[in-house]
């Protein structure tokens, strides 16, 4: 674990999310093509800045297209906005590209089968 990651974890334990966001942005400025840094920033932003978090997850997914983590995070955020087709598409991507990922598959199936409201 890098010193930056250790600092981030200790800040998270104390709930200092603004400081973590700053650390993540500094790391991204140094390495803008690193998908994991976009993912970490998105996780931090999710608490208050959902749209910005979604953009950061999308960039992480673009930089690491075979990594299912960002796609599942995108699906979860889309699902929270009640965008059925978008969430299904994101969950299906996760299910197809990560064989054995029971969570991605079961979330996709459950989401597709839920009763439509309104």
pLDDT tens digits along 47-57: 778 788 889 99
For the cut 60, the answer to whether the pLDDT of residue 60 exceeds it is yes
Residue 99 resides in a domain: yes
Which residues, 6+ apart, have CB-to-CB distance to 78 below 8 Å?
54, 86, 87, 90
Range of the domain at 97: 66-118
Note the pTM of the prediction, 2 decimals. 0.64
Same domain, 41 and 80: no
Residue 59 resides in a domain: no
Q: What is the mean pLDDT of the chain?
A: 76
The region that residue 100 occupies, defined by phi over 0 for left and psi between -120 and 50 for alpha, beta otherwise, is: left
What are residue 101's phi and psi, to 5 degrees?
-85, 90
Residue 58 resides in a domain: no
Same domain, 75 and 35: no
Domains in the chain: how many in total? 2
Residue 54 resides in a domain: no
Residue 2 resides in a domain: yes
Which residues, 6+ apart, have CB-to-CB distance to 66 below 8 Å?
97
Residue 117 structure tokens = 């409201």
């Amino acid at each position: 674990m890098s010193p930056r990651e250790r600092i981030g974890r200790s800040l998270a334990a104390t709930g200092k999310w603004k400081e973590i966001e700053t650390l993540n942005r500094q790391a991204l400025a140094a390495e803008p093509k690193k998908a994991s840094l976009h993912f970490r920033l998105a996780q931090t932003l999710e608490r208050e800045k959902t749209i910005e978090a979604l953009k950061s997850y999308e960039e992480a997914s673009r930089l690491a297209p075979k990594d299912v983590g960002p796609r599942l995070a995108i699906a979860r955020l889309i699902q929270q906005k009640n965008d059925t087709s978008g969430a299904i598409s994101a969950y299906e991507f996760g299910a197809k590209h990560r064989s054995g990922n029971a969570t991605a598959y079961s979330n996709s199936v459950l989401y597709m089968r839920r009763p439509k409201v309104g």
